[in-house]
């Protein structure tokens, strides 16, 4: 494809900067042509061609990346091809007995789950970008879905891969675990298109759960909420979703609630009064937690009771199914809000990280202060909220949303100030540059701090080995 | 240390070939000196020195490796230092809240668990070599403990690492998960000393379980046993240990049972008769499965009931606690049998792999036939047994033990015939060269088949980047 629209569409992801530049018409750095291969052999041929003629290749999945992984700005004046994987979108085989499936990587989330349906299985991977992202993109960026507490991140699901590199095709075998030297799968997962094109993946899948149940709880504050969800994670009770909003995010999520009328309004008002006066909840500081449970009726009952016991010990009050179900209905819609806000000169973005349990609250406070100070430094009014959306045995993710009202002409500079503040805080606070959004160009300045300069050297060595001419997505992840 | 004994002790692991050569006095290829650093700085200094003077370094943990990872035979005539990590054996910190711990890698299994005891935590990693192997060795070889079904393999436990390479120290951050490019931990785990020296690791740990329970079951045959344990793994019921012996291994394990007398003998005989005539077990073909359960009394009861239901559906008959408890008593003793057998010219070794559930039985049959044919080809009488000792959502390990009575002078050649047959069968059967014993020199011939030539190229590129002079454990894993 060489139409202007397709070339532009394939030259940007959905990062704050991408959106800003497209809206501002700053279209310097656009791919020259979009190619949609129909087989692995076509990818191999394309890579050979690209090496011979010194053409740069940017693998393209759904285009939803927010870390600059798709940026077509190149230092070297070489032609650039966007390699859109959309035609390689088939589930090749499902091994129901082993609960595994081999899939081409250009498949979008909804299409993948639809192809799995006749087999009664699911991947269980539902990132916010689900509708607009592909399997290949998930694997290339170490994506996390909202049900990661049970199903793991994408790297926990991959059993085998086929990766086309300029030096040949890497092929690994579908085995549950191995001791065959350095883990070759993990060396390709998270490579962000810089080593090669991930063409096929064998994944572990799960039977569709018999039943699901959402439950919401209200905690007096973020501290007691964190303590409660940590207990649940440490006890291995394992709801599929555990999500805890801080006070700011909780207020926002209640503000998005549909207005009630009649009897419902009266009941709701009564419940609110009882929360305030009987449960002594300060409704300005309370925090909403939601859980999703899956399994047989019996399994759900067991898990639900265990969670309820722990949450009550930490002062949690059950809100029933409402908050979770309303979250589920709108779960993929939230990102679109950003565009609506942009029209009103309210600029919003997110940064997320992960850390050990003992560091969750200190890091939360550090990041909050850093973000607020940075927004203040820009002279704008702003808002900062945070939620925990992925919990593990040893720690959890922290997901910050920040927005500011900016009438100045320095929006991008102000963004840089704020974005740098939060990423610097992640580093100073002993956390990682991202839990699931990748490195790309946006987070590259923090990579050496995160994985050490020798770690970066190792990745550079890998790239020099597999892509000696530097044609694969140059400038992303590493220089 | 430069004593002959220490030099020899540090030049061999416990592979079949190692034992044979030491017994035969074939001591060509012995390290020149053994150094025991007391700090990471001393390791850094040593690597600098080694690079300058072109000295080869072989990191040494407990010396229990059976894949030739410690072999001191070098192609190039350079001096060789064995870098014994035994003095770096301290637990540096335990973060009880996060259930994580930072530990120096020279610590032996029992010492590690003893240092964890005051904190009430355990790593949950108990390989057969536990008493004679170190944390560093486990991480360098992607080791698996017998409780891996719950606790995972060692690679699932590592949160952060410090690895001294000739090009600097790789340092990663202790976070539960990240999206910061290629996973640097996984790039060092399984590197078998060929990239650098793993000096420090942050691990996830678990609270000591309140209670444990062993239960044994007898199945009519291997097929029904495999079907049963697969159901348990797929349902996520998760006993900490699931071990299923095939008929040959079952007969062997009953042969090792202490003889009974008096009432016990009569009861035992009665039970045996009831198995044969009421349960219609053919005692020549039946297979023993043992499970270990952990947790609160309630959790154990839940798991035990769920397992019992599944096993009974597959014709399993409960044998009570006896078989599991007797396994636990002798669990670390079995390997010593090999030396006793060697004195009687009975030669024994093991090879193990992992595969998807749908391939467990086909692979089992292929390997059995391959081993038996190979033993027959040597003109010796032999014995082949197999057990499954690690189960996962998508598959399981298969662990083969083989022995043959060899009065010829061609013991090593006959060993090569048999070992090659089983490793070739793993490859032909779509499995991996090893589930937890590493590549070393013994399995290196199969690496390119397992991870593809381009996968090997990637590992070579990593080595060339981090160890350009090839001083780190040369010849292991890759050439």
Convert the pLDDT of each residue in B244-262 to its tens digit.
Answer: 999 999 998 877 776 677 7
Cα(A384)–Cα(A84) distance, integer angstroms: 36
Looking at chain B from residue 273 to 302, which residues have their Cβ under 8 Å from any Cβ of chain A? 302
Buried b (16+ CB within 10 A) or exposed e, B395-421: bbbbbbbbbbebeeeebeebbebbbeb
pLDDT in tens, A210-249: 999 999 999 999 999 999 999 999 877 779 999 999 999 9
CB proximity B464 to A under 8 Å? yes
B455 chain-A contacts, CB cut-off 8 A: 170-172, 184
Which of B172, B174, B478 is nearest residue A451 as measured by Cβ atoms? B172
**Subunit contact B178:A354, Cβ cutoff 8 A:** yes
The strand pairing partners of A201, in sequence order, are A103, A161
Whether A403 and A422 have beta carbons less than 8 Å apart is answered as no
| A399 classed as catalytic | yes
Query: Rounded mean pLDDT of B326-333?
Result: 82
pLDDT at B38: 97
The percent of residues in chain B predicted with pLDDT above 90, rounded, is 83
The model's confidence at residue A451, banded by pLDDT at 50, 70 and 90, is: very high
Predicted pLDDT of residue B111: 98
Residue A38 backbone phi and psi in degrees, to 5: -110, -5
Reported as a single tens digit per residue, the pLDDT across B128-154 is 999 999 999 999 999 999 999 999 999
Residue A475 has pLDDT above 90, yes or no: yes
Size of interface A-B (CB pairs under 8 A): 315
Looking at residue B262, what is its pLDDT?
A: 74
Residues B451, A170: C-beta atoms closer than 8 Å: yes
Q: How many Å apart are CA A59 and CA A198, to the nearest integer?
A: 9
Distance from CA of B235 to the nearest CA of A (A): 9
Lowest mean pLDDT among A172-176, B217-221, B331-335: B331-335
Higher pLDDT, A259 or B237: B237
How would you classify residue B69: left for phi > 0, otherwise alpha for psi between -120 and 50, otherwise beta? alpha
Q: What is the pLDDT of residue B211?
A: 95
Residues of A in contact with B201 (CB under 8 A): none
- Exactly one of A151, A311, A399, A415 is catalytic; name it: A399
Distance from CA of B100 to the nearest CA of A (A): 7
CB contact under 8 A, A144 and B177: yes
Of A183, A363, A209, A171, the C-alpha closest to A297 is A209
| Statement: residue A377 has pLDDT above 80 | yes
Does position A296 have pLDDT exceeding 70, yes or no? yes
Q: A282-286, B52-56, B307-311, B430-434 — which is least confidently predicted?
A: A282-286
Residue B269's pLDDT band, with cuts at 50, 70 and 90, is: confident
Å between B328 CA and nearest CA of chain A: 24
Output the pLDDT for position A333.
76
Q: Which tens digits make up the pLDDT trace of A90-120?
A: 999 999 999 999 999 999 999 999 999 999 9
Q: What is the pLDDT of residue A334?
A: 73
Q: What is the mean pLDDT of residues B32-42?
A: 98
Burial class (CB in 10 A: 0-12, 13-18, 19+), B145: buried
- Distance between CA atoms of B400 and B375, rounded to whole angstroms? 14
Q: Which of B388, B364, B234 is nearest to B310 (CA)?
A: B234
Determine, for residues B431 and A173 on separate chains, whether the beta-carbon distance falls below 8 Å: yes
Q: Which residues of B touch A167 (CB under 8 A)?
A: 454, 457
Phi, psi of A227 (to 5 degrees): -60, -40
Among A159, A172, A393, beta carbon nearest to B99: A393
Measure CB to CB from residue A177 to each of B141, B392, B466 and give the nearest one. Answer: B392
Residue B178 DSSP SS3: coil
Question: Does residue B181 belong to the interface with chain A, where contact is any CB pair within 8 Å?
Answer: yes
Chain B closest CA to A90's CA: distance in Å?
Answer: 21
Instruction: Name the pLDDT band for A186 (thresholds 50, 70, 90).
Output: very high
- Please answer yes or no on whether B172 and A97 come within 8 Å at the CB atom: no
- pLDDT tens readout for residues B307-329: 999 999 999 999 999 888 888 88
Q: Which residues of A touch B175 (CB under 8 A)?
A: 353-356, 395, 431-432, 435
Q: Which of B234, B354, B438 sits opposite A99 (nearest CB)?
A: B234
3-class SS of residue A395:
strand
Q: What is the pLDDT of residue A258?
A: 67
Query: In this complex, is the C-beta atom of B170 within 8 Å of any C-beta atom belonging to chain A?
Result: yes
Contact B234 A396 (CB under 8 A): no
Top pLDDT among A338 and A179 is at A179
Q: Which of B311, B364, B399, B415 is catalytic?
A: B399
Torsion of CA A13, A19, A24, A25, to 10 degrees: 20
Average pLDDT, stretch B178-197? Answer: 98
pLDDT greater than 70 at residue A162: yes
Nearest chain A Cα to B435, which residue? A178
pLDDT at A51: 96
Check residue A252 and give its pLDDT: 87
138-157 of A, contacting B, C-beta below 8 A: 141-144, 153, 155
SS3 per residue for A327-390: HHHHCCCHHHHHHHHHCCCEEEEEEEEEEEHHHHHHHHHHHHHHHHHHHHHCCCEEEEEEEECC
pLDDT, mean of residues B104-110: 98
Question: For residue B56, what pLDDT is reported?
Answer: 97
The pLDDT assigned to B449 comes to 98
Find the mean pLDDT for residues A257-284: 75
The neighbour count for residue A278, using CB atoms within 10 Å, is 9
Coil vs helix vs strand at A132: helix
The maximal CA–CA distance of chain A, rounded, in angstroms, is 74
Provide the token pair at B93. 């910190």
Letter string b/e over residues A433-442, b meaning 16 or more CB atoms within 10 A of that residue's CB:
bbbbbbbbbb
Rounded to two decimals, the ipTM of the complex is 0.96
Residues of B in contact with A159 (CB under 8 A): 356, 394
């Amino acid at each position: 494809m060489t139409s202007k629209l397709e070339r532009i569409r394939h030259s940007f992801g959905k990062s704050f900067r991408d959106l800003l530049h497209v809206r501002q018409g700053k279209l310097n750095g656009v791919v020259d042509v979009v190619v949609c291969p129909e087989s692995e052999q076509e990818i191999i041929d394309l890579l050979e061609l690209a090496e011979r003629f010194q053409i740069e290749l940017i693998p393209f999945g759904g285009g939803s990346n927010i870390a600059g992984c798709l940026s077509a700005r190149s230092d070297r004046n070489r032609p650039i091809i966007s390699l859109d994987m959309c035609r390689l979108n088939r589930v090749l085989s499902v091994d129901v007995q082993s609960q595994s499936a081999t899939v081409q990587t250009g498949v979008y989330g909804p299409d993948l789950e639809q192809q799995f349906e006749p087999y009664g299985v699911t991947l269980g991977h539902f990132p916010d970008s689900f509708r607009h992202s592909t399997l290949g993109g998930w694997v290339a960026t170490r994506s996390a879905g909202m049900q990661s507490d049970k199903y793991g991140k994408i790297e926990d699901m991959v059993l085998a891969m086929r990766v086309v590199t300029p030096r040949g095709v890497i092929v690994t075998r579908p085995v549950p675990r191995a001791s065959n030297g350095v883990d070759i799968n993990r060396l390709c997962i998270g490579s962000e298109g810089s080593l090669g094109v991930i063409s096929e993946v064998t994944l572990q899948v799960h039977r569709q759960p018999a039943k699901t149940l959402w439950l919401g709880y209200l905690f007096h504050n973020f501290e007691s909420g964190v303590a409660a969800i940590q207990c649940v994670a440490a006890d291995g009770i394992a709801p599929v979703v555990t999500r805890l909003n801080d006070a700011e995010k909780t207020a926002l999520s209640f503000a998005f609630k549909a207005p009630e009328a009649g009897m419902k309004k009266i009941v709701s008002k009564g419940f609110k009064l009882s929360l305030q006066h009987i449960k002594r909840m300060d409704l300005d500081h309370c925090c909403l937690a939601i859980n999703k449970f899956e399994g047989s009726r019996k399994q759900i009952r067991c898990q639900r009771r265990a969670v309820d016991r722990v949450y009550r010990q930490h002062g949690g009050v059950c809100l029933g199914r409402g908050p979770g179900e309303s979250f589920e209905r709108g779960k993929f819609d939230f990102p679109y809000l950003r565009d609506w806000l942009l029209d009103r000169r309210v600029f919003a973005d997110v940064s997320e990280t992960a850390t050990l349990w003992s560091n969750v609250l200190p890091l939360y406070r550090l990041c909050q202060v850093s973000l607020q100070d940075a927004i203040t430094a820009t002279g704008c009014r702003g808002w900062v909220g945070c939620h925990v959306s992925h919990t593990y045995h040893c720690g959890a993710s922290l997901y910050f949303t920040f927005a500011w009202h900016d009438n100045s002409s320095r929006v991008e500079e102000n963004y840089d100030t704020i974005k740098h503040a939060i990423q610097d805080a992640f580093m100073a606070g002993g956390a990682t540059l991202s839990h699931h959004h990748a490195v790309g160009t946006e987070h590259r300045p923090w990579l050496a701090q995160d994985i050490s300069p020798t770690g970066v050297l190792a990745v550079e060595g890998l790239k020099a080995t597999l892509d000696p001419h530097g044609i694969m997505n140059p400038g992303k992840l590493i220089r």
